[in-house]
Structure 1
Amino acid sequence: MAFDATRVCNNILQRAFDEDVPVTPMKLQKILYFVASEYAKDTEKPLLSEPFQQWQYGPVVASVYSEFKPFGSGSIRRYAKDSQGKAYVVNESKNPRLREALDRVWPVVKDRGAVPLSRITHLPESAWRKAFDANERYIDEDDIRLDETYRPKLGLD
């Protein structure tokens, strides 16, 4: 089951707000990418119902960009909301694979800045790099699942 990207971001932000960890929109995008890749490795399925795009500073989900664009390079101070102004998270107790991916990624990224995380997504042979080199707008789901380039840099190997 693929999830709404902004809901998964709210799960990430819930951890950030609980621990008083600042997260900028760019940092959120990179964390979301790493979580999506880890989830896909565990399940053989894409995490999100929307694709990652290949942007200059790394993988980006357009709806997440639109939702948090008002924060610019500053810290996000609220959850993503739906058209009725309600914020939702994915129920992690009903989705243990998502919880496991979040629990694996969050501790190793929370204290890193957006730019260093962006550099990690740009490594040779990364899913982002493959899309960039092929001048593709979207990052291939299989490449995201198979991307191992970030794991040593984050200490996940």
Structure 2
Amino acid sequence: MAYPASLIAFAFVKKGIDEGKFVTQMKLQKLVYFAQGYHLAKYHEPLINETFQAWMYGPVIPEIYQDFKLYGSRPITDTAEVTPSASYKPPFRLDDRALESINYTWGVLKDFSAMSLSHWTHQPNGPWSKVYNPDAKSTPIHNDEIQHYFEKLLIKA
């Protein structure tokens, strides 16, 4: 089952707050991207409903950007000011597969910086690098490209 990206983002923000490992907007985008890639590779279905776009600093879901832009580049230390996008209408309950993808991604990436994750998304022949065009902010990164890339990563791991 696919979920609104804002819900998955909120789960990562909550993990960061609960563990004192606060995420920034950039890191949040990358966590959701890696969770999507892991989920696509392992379960052959998307974790989120929305399509990533190739922006300058990597894959972005515009709804997540809108939800958390008030933090700028600062760590997200609370959610009092967050107004989830229209696509996120609580209550949602995440299934076991979604929770596993979120927990796996968090466990592997929580100690990486946002810039490290951004560099990772910029690897040659990766889904972002194949479609990024500096003159076109909203170029989609298709799930089949993300899935194929992450299947290769998981096989290596």
What TM-score do the two structures reach when normalised by structure 1?
0.84
What is the DSSP-based 3-state SS (H/G/I as helix, E as strand, rest coil) of the residue aligned with 2:139? coil
User: Is 1:11 paired with 2:46?
Assistant: no
For the structure 1 residues 5 and 89, does the alpha-carbon distance in structure 2 shift closer, same or farther, using more than 3 Å as the test? farther
> What is residue 26 of structure 1 aligned with on the other side?
26
Counting only pairs closer than 5 Å after superposition, residues 98-117 of structure 1 correspond to structure 2 as: 98-117=98-117
Structure 1, gaps ≥5 residues long: none
User: Is 1:145 paired with 2:147?
Assistant: yes
Deviation at 1:124, TM superposition (A): 1.3
Which stretch shifts more, 59-68 or 71-80? Answer: 71-80
Q: 4+ residue stretches of structure 1 with deviation over 6 A?
A: none
Tell me the distance in 1 between the aligned counterparts of 2:85 and 2:127. 32
Tell me the distance in 2 between the aligned counterparts of 1:45 and 1:5. 14
Kindly provide the CA deviation profile for residues 121-145 of structure 1, in whole angstroms up to 9, marking residues without a partner as x: 0111211111127x77000110111
| Native 8 Å contact 2:2 2:46 kept in 1 | yes
What TM-score do the two structures reach when normalised by structure 2?
0.84
The alignment of Structure 1 onto Structure 2 pairs a total of residues equal to: 150
Tell me the distance in 2 between the aligned counterparts of 1:7 and 1:114. 20
Counting only pairs closer than 5 Å after superposition, residues 39-118 of structure 1 correspond to structure 2 as: 39-79=39-79, 80-82=82-84, 88=90, 90-92=92-94, 95-118=95-118
What is the DSSP-based 3-state SS (H/G/I as helix, E as strand, rest coil) of the residue aligned with 1:59? strand
Deviation at 1:149, TM superposition (A): 8.8
Deviation at 1:82, TM superposition (A): 3.9
Percent same amino acid among aligned pairs? 32
Tell me the distance in 2 between the aligned counterparts of 1:72 and 1:53. 19
| Native 8 Å contact 2:26 2:114 kept in 1 | yes
Deviation at 1:99, TM superposition (A): 1.3
Structure 2, gaps ≥5 residues long: none
What is the DSSP-based 3-state SS (H/G/I as helix, E as strand, rest coil) of the residue aligned with 2:150? coil
What is the DSSP-based 3-state SS (H/G/I as helix, E as strand, rest coil) of the residue aligned with 2:42? helix
| Native 8 Å contact 1:126 1:148 kept in 2 | no
